[in-house]
Structure formats: C-alpha cells, structure tokens
Chains A and B, each alone.
Chain A
C-alpha cells in the first residue's frame, strides 16, 4: 500500500471536478496509477452516489479501479478552501483512497482498520485541522506498512 501527502500543492483547481482531475493527475505523474482520467471518472461516480464528507472541511473520496495496481492513499491539504464540494460543502482537506479491483487481503484489512479509526474524533480532528507533521504521524500510526517502510524510504511522502 502506498501513502502520500500533498500539502498545499500548486494545483489550478477551481471547482470539485477540476480538483478530482488534479488529484488523479498527481497520482498518475507519480507513476502510481496508469490512467488518471479513468480514476477521476471513478471518483466522480462515487461522489454522485453519496456524500463522502466526514467532517465539515474533510472529505474521503474513494474508488475502486483497475488503473491502480495496489491500494493508494493520498492526503491533500489545499492552499485555499474549495467551495461547492458535493454542491454545498467547503473543503480544504481530502483523504483519497484508491483500490485495485481485487485488493490484497492485507490492504483490505489495513483500510478497514483505517476507516474504523476515523470514528475516533481525535483522529478526525487531527486530519481536519492538524499541521503537516501531525497528519503524517497519524497516518503512520494508522498505516503500519508505511511506518515499517519509513526506515527504507520517506513515507508517507510529502510534496
């Protein structure tokens, strides 16, 4: 499983659609997915099914797509809050999750645990308002793979 943080990236995203596009392009540019357009479409489709807001300013868009070979989690903190997410919300933070069509049992278990831990208000609070270091630490706690790989590489990586 890969985990990344994009902290106030220089994206030209003026609305929800272009933000989804930017996030997908970012993952593609990092070589984590092979088709950004397909991933963007999958994320948009998921949003059309129902709201993914888990706090006033925090959404968790997610999708399953064969454009990803392994599970990916991207934490995004925008430079400026974006209004119009789901038509009404104003978000400045997103946790994007991408799953391959057939995720490994290990990745599925890690993700299950991650989302269950989001029910803890302290964790949601950190993701909603925490500084970059706090967010990274919390992600490392919740995603043990990334913590294990930390010694080998900087993870979660930050733009």
Chain B
C-alpha cells in the first residue's frame, strides 16, 4: 500500500467514530482485509510507544484521534484535520451531507455549502458526483441547478439515510451532527432520553438495547428534521391510513403523548403522521413487559418461528436445537421483527462482526434459513444485522444444549468454605452442576461413588492421587479465581466435544 492509501485509511477512520469493521474498510478503500491488517501494523509501527489504530477482534478498527493529532503534530496531514479549511475530502463530504440532509429539501447556494472549504470547482463537482452515488442507495436525489443545491426524496428515505450515514455504529449520534451549538445538542439528547423514560413508564415495560437506541435515533432525527427543514418536510406520504390501523390503543395513546411533548418542545404542531411513525417504531421494538405465553403468540409469528427453527434444524450440526425455550424466546423476537420488516425499520447490530466471528457456520445457516423464510412468507428482505440477532437466539439454545459440568466442592470439613463456594458458584456459574460438597478426607470415597464428576474445586490443596481435573481457589472466590474456573470449564467442554 502506498503512503496515499495509508493516509486514506487514516482519513476514513478519522471521519468515523467508534470501530469500523475490516470488511467495511476493505469495501470502501478497495483493498483486501489482509491488506488493511498489514497496513494498520505499518501505521502503528511508526508510533511504537502507543498504537494509533486500535484493533479489536470482532469489532474492527478505531483510531485514537487525540493520539494521532498529537503525534502527527507538525505533519501537514494532521494539520488539515484540525483546520476545517483543510479537512480531509471524506470529512468535507460528510459535513456537506449533514448540512443538506438535515435541511432537505431546503436548497443552499453552492458557495454557502462548499465556500468554507476553499476548494476548486472541479473538487465540488467530484464531491457532488460521489454524494449522488451515496444518496442513490437511499432513493434520494442530489439536485444542482445553477448555483443552488439540495436533496430531494421521501421523508422516510431522508431519515433512513441520516440514521445510516450520520449516526455512529455505537448508537451515539455523531458529535459533529450538524450542530455548532453543543448545548442544544445536549438539551435535545436529554429531552429525547426523558421521552424514552416516559414511554417505559407509560407502557410499564423496559425497552431493551438496541431498540432503545433505535427509538432514540428516531426521535432525535425527528427533532433535527423539524428544526432544520420544518414546514418544507413532505408529510403527505400516504401514511395516514396507518393512523387507523394502530390496533394497540394503549400504545397509540403513548405515541400521541410523546408527539404532543415534541410539539411543545419544538414550539410547533407536528403532523399526525408522526404519531403513526412513532407507533411503527414502538411496535417494531422488543418491549419487555413480562414474557408472553406461547398461547398468546399470534399465528403468523408462530408459523415464522417454527419455519426458522425447522430450517436451521435441517443442518446436521443443529438437529436437536429445537426446544420450547428457543421457540418462546425467538417468537418474542420475531413479533417485532415482522413489524420492522413491514415498516422498513432497521436496527443496528453492533455485535454483528463478533457474532459472525464466533458462530460463522450458524450465522450462514440462519442467513440461508431467513432467505427461505422471506420467499415462503413473501416478506421484505432480512438483512445481516437482523440475521445476527436471530443467530444469537440459536447460539443461546446451542449453549443450553450442553450437558452440565459436574463438580465436587471440597474444603477441610465440607461444611465451611466449600459451602461458601457453593453459594457463590451457584450464583455465577449456572452451567455447573454441584454434585456434592465434601471434606478433603472424604474426597476419595466421594469420587469413587460419583464417576460423573468432571472437576474438583477446592479451597485447600488436594492430594496428588486425584486423577481428574482440579482447581484450587480462595475462599473469597476472587475475579481471578472465577476467570480460572471459566478457563477450566472451557477446557473441559472442548474435551467433551472431541
């Protein structure tokens, strides 16, 4: 990779908060993931005291902005990042995109958008070309007429693109999100957080991650849009019909309450379609208000859940994966998933890379099963982020299928620290089955009568005559002890699966 390519890698990471996956970098920069890995090493090798680019298995790469700017002090590349007039080309295009998207369809004079960057006309033309291709993916059009420029498209597409392009992968809004006023950003953020609390309070339910982040983004973008474009927003996109299809009256009332609060906050009257939009988001989120029983699960959800489990079970590795627990937990996920598909709502899955890395085969099987599901039930396509969520449910079922590891707990009397250890292990290691707590002097007899024991855990040293796995821990059962036990359990599991 040339210096230019290395700089492109740095530029890209500087313009993205949080981790960026190797695959994403590879796609954007047009090089293989191996090349990305090699060049991250080369860049870090220039800064031996502390790496500029952090890499984490399953998450990707993240640049230490502060460290980069400090160590590259005096370097022209770093200076151009500090000086907005000499911002990287990617940073410049992101800034333009923010300005135009948040205010869409409001038009700006080209000078007013690019003027502050002091770039040539040919650079502006090049930026417009690139931005057009980015926006095309969202069915948005970047119009240019004489000296005016603006983005045109449906409100749903504008918001979807803001969500995808301007919200970071960690679910936190980009700190440069069109705001020069940090106080206003904080105030908006606090207001939205308060609305989420209110929703939870009114629904007597908890909105778990990542659905809370999704709802947060929806409300935050709504505020930005009405502040940025206001009356120019086209709300006549035919969603009025959905107002009457809000079957859950209680939830509809909650949405009305939140939108009225937004009216007061923005000092405006938001159109009724915003109530319907919020309703769509809420019904597309997993709201935990206690587990629903199998009989309460709608017929379509049952059928879809059964179909997925059946297809995954067809793979020889997962023949026995089906269980009532898997069905119940997956059905709870499928219900809002079907709403998300219908309403074209996507949820970011920050653990996707990790899931693919940990369960590569299972992920592929789930992806194939969900593709068949889409065909069979004529659903909108299920993306990898959703497949990642589904994979987790199957992975959990897989973990639960493991036979428990049988352990014996030992101390001098069997009545003292072994009992303390028993209480602590029961609380933290549900996969371990405690067969007995015994005095060290009774260990031999106990092992003779319990040949199912896989591991002996003791608070005192054990005689060398014990021929199965042993672990001596402190009575405090410290974090270090727990870590050692986890390692030992992993080792035994691997032995079992051979």
The yes or no answer to B476 lying at the interface (CB within 8 A) is yes
B 440-498 contacts with A by CB, 8 A: 440, 458-461, 472, 474-476
6 closest residue pairs by CB, A with B: A119-B423, A115-B419, A49-B460, A116-B423, A50-B460, A115-B420
Interface string of B23-35 (1 = CB under 8 A from A): 0000000000000
- Inter-chain contacts of A52 with B (CB < 8 A): 417, 459, 475
Q: Known: A53-B474, A60-B475. Contact between A117 and B416, CB under 8 A?
A: no
B475 partner residues in chain A, CB cutoff 8 A: 50-54, 60
- Tell me how far the C-beta of B425 lies from the nearest C-beta in chain A, rounded to whole angstroms: 9
CB <8 Å contact, B427 and A119: yes
| 0 or 1 for each of A41-56: is its CB under 8 Å from B? (1 = yes) | 0000010011111110
Residues on the B chain within 8 Å of A51, using CB? 459, 474-476
**Residues of A with C-beta under 8 A to B136:** none
Contact of A60 among B416, B437, B440, B460 (CB under 8 A): B416
- Over the window 88-120 of chain A, the binary record of Cβ atoms lying under 8 Å from chain B Cβ atoms (1 yes, 0 no) is 000000000101000100001001111111111
Residues of B within 8 A of A103 (CB): 415
Shortest Cβ distance from A49 into B: residue: B460
Across the two chains, which residue of chain B brings its CB closest to A115?
B419
Docked Cα-Cα span, A141 to B104, in Å, equals 68
B380 at interface (Cβ–Cβ under 8 A)? no
Report yes or no: B420 in contact with A108, Cβ–Cβ below 8 A: no
User: Is A136 interfacial (CB 8 A cutoff)?
Assistant: no
Q: How far is the CA of A118 from the CA of B476 in the complex (A)?
A: 10
Q: A115-B420, A117-B423, A119-B420 are in contact. Are A50 and B459 (CB under 8 A)?
A: yes
Interface centre among B437, B460, B475 (most CB of A within 10 A): B475
B419 near A62 with CB under 8 A, answer: no
Which A residues fall within an 8 A CB radius of B?
A: 46, 49-55, 60, 62-64, 97, 99, 103, 108, 111-120
Q: Give Cα A115 to B424, complex, Å.
A: 11
Give Cα A60–Cα B412 distance, bound, in whole angstroms. Answer: 12
A63 CA to B270 CA, complexed, in Å: 75
- A142–B403 CA distance with the chains assembled, in angstroms: 35
Provide the residues of chain A in CB contact with B459, threshold 8 Å. 50-52
Q: How many angstroms from the CA of A116 to the CA of B425 in the assembled complex?
A: 11
Complex contacts, A50 vs chain B, CB 8 Å:
458-461, 472, 474-475
- By a CB distance below 8 angstroms, the chain A residues around B133 are none
**Residues of chain A contacted by B440 (CB below 8 angstroms):** 49
Q: B413 contacts the other chain (Cβ, under 8 Å)?
A: yes
A132 to B418, CA, bound (A): 27
Q: List 21 A-B contacts (CB under 8 A).
A: A46-B460, A50-B460, A51-B459, A51-B476, A52-B417, A53-B474, A53-B476, A54-B417, A60-B416, A60-B420, A62-B412, A62-B413, A112-B419, A112-B437, A115-B416, A115-B417, A115-B419, A116-B419, A118-B420, A119-B427, A120-B423
Residues of A within 8 A of B472 (CB): 50
Closest chain-B Cβ to A149's Cβ sits at a distance in Å of: 21
Closest chain-B Cβ to A2's Cβ sits at a distance in Å of 16
Report yes or no: B412 in contact with A97, Cβ–Cβ below 8 A. Answer: no
**Given known contacts A116-B423, A118-B420, A49 and B461 CB-to-CB distance under 8 angstroms:** yes
Q: Which residue of B lies closest to A71 (CB)?
A: B415
A contact residues around B413 at 8 Å (CB): 62, 64, 99
Task: Tell me if B422 is interfacial: C-beta within 8 Å of chain A.
Answer: yes
Docked pose: A103 CA to B439 CA in angstroms = 13
CB distance from B498 to the nearest CB of A (A): 32
> A49-B460, A60-B475, A119-B427 are known contacts. Are A54 and B420 too (CB-CB below 8 A)?
yes
A115 contact set on B, CB distance < 8 A: 415-420, 423
- Provide the bound-state CA to CA distance between A114 and B415, in Å: 9
CA separation between A52 and B459, bound complex, in Å? 8
B460 contacts across to A, CB distance below 8 A? 46, 49-50
How long is the Cα–Cα vector from A99 to B461 in the complex, in angstroms?
A: 20
Residues of B near A113 (CB, < 8 A) are 419
* Residue contact B476 to A116, C-beta cutoff 8 Å: no
A53: nearest chain-B partner, CB-CB: B476
Please report which residues of chain B, range 57-82, place their CB below 8 angstroms from some CB of chain A when the two chains form the complex: none
Question: Could you say which residues of chain A place their CB within 8 Å of the CB of B419?
Answer: 111-116
* Residue with the highest number of chain B CB atoms closer than 10 Å, among A54, A55, A103, A119: A119
A111 & B474 in contact (Cβ 8 Å cutoff): no
How far is the CB of A91 from the nearest CB of chain B, in Å?
13
User: In the bound complex, how far is the Cα of B92 from the Cα of A88, in angstroms?
Assistant: 59
Roughly how many angstroms separate A46 CA and B476 CA in the complex, as a whole number? 16
| Known A53-B474, A55-B476, A116-B422; contact A111-B416, beta-carbon cutoff 8 A | yes
9 extra interface residue pairs, beta carbon distance < 8 Å, beyond A51-B459, A115-B415:
A49-B440, A49-B460, A51-B475, A54-B476, A60-B416, A115-B416, A117-B423, A119-B424, A120-B423
Which B residues lie within 8 Å of A111 (CB)?
415-416, 419
Cβ < 8 Å to A, chain B residues 132-171? none
